[in-house]
Amino acid sequence: MYKRFSFFKILMLIYILCLIGWIVQYVLGAQNLLLLGYKYGTNFEHFNSLLRLPSIVGTPGNFSILLALLGFILEKCIPNEKKHYKWILNLTTLLFLILSTKRFALLFWVIAQLVYFLVSTFRKSSKRTVLFNNSMIFLFLPILTYTFYFILDRFNYFASNSLFARFKLWGEYLYSPFSLEGIIGLGLGKVGAASRRMEELNYNSLNYSVDNQYLAIYQQVGIIGLLITFALILIIGKKLLFTYVHNGEKNNLTALSLFSGLIIVSFFTNILELYPFNVFLWMFVGYNLLNEKTINKGVE
């Protein structure tokens, strides 16, 4: 399918350009980036003395989540026979995700990997194989957990100041679901990424990023819009699961795993507002929402 559908080559090119852009910006440093017209706090910033860089997509958040998406899709496109290429791609993606210091992007990638592994293991393996795999997981899980914790702790990934600040802001801006604002919301663009831009254009907005996609939807379109969103999530998730169960193709499971990561990470950031991540994600998910016959035929 991927040979006929040149999506793989396009994603690989973008992936490589993202890495090159990040490396070049890291070598240049903050002072040179300022001289080149980059805005501190928008295009790049610091996280505990570490630089957060935008690469070729404008902001550090856009870079990190796009890298997680592209790295995951590309790795799943590689045939299982070429495991060394899969390992290289996974390690490269993991390394740059850690260096980006954006925790939600790393969480998105880890959840997608975990869902893919668990679902594929229980679907295709025999009971003996499942038992063996589970035994290996429980055997090496403490070692992997400690190693992962040690690496992330070195980059201050477990700093909780920003998390508590988010909890405080969430409480300040929430309206009762029985009020007018709670039922129909404040209007599109009042909060979230768009509110920052509207503030710059002198439009009335709260200039508040929220950092929770569900709360951002609730505050903009109210409880009615939030319920519609949950209904769409349920429909899309059910359709992706149905497609994978009936087709059993890797790309179907890849889409399901990415959608699972999206659902979880939406609690910690406005992930649907991150561009161009949202474009590539919905292109891939939408392609896998096609009916069974169309999927089996591929895209010419």
Together in a domain, 167 and 224: yes
- Structural domain of residue 59, as residue ranges? 7-124+160-297
DSSP 8-state secondary structure symbol assigned to residue 40: B
pTM: 0.83
Question: Are 242 and 30 in contact, with CB atoms under 8 Å apart?
Answer: no
Number of domains in the chain: 2
Together in a domain, 229 and 240: yes
User: Where does a domain end: 111, 138, 159?
Assistant: 159
- Distance, in Å, from the CA atom of 76 to the CA atom of 112, rounded to the nearest integer, reads 11
Whether residue 17 lies inside any domain: the answer is yes
Whether residue 1 lies inside any domain: the answer is no
In total, the chain counts a number of residues equal to: 300
Together in a domain, 136 and 274: no
- Distance, in Å, from the CA atom of 144 to the CA atom of 240, rounded to the nearest integer, reads 30
pLDDT in tens, the chain (300 residues): 444 457 788 899 999 999 999 999 999 999 999 999 999 988 999 887 789 999 999 999 999 999 999 999 999 988 888 888 999 999 999 999 999 988 899 999 999 999 998 888 877 655 555 555 555 555 545 555 545 444 555 555 555 566 666 666 676 777 778 888 788 888 777 777 777 666 666 676 667 778 889 988 988 889 999 999 999 999 999 999 988 988 878 889 999 999 999 999 998 888 988 889 999 999 999 888 875 444 444 443
- Distance, in Å, from the CA atom of 29 to the CA atom of 94, rounded to the nearest integer, reads 22
- Could you report how far apart the first and last alpha carbons of the chain are, in Å? 9
SS3 (DSSP) at 183: helix
Together in a domain, 176 and 59: yes
- Distance, in Å, from the CA atom of 204 to the CA atom of 188, rounded to the nearest integer, reads 11
Tally: H helices and E strands in the chain: 12, 2
Q: Among residues 208, 183, 185, which one has the least CA distance to residue 195? A: 208
Together in a domain, 179 and 254: yes
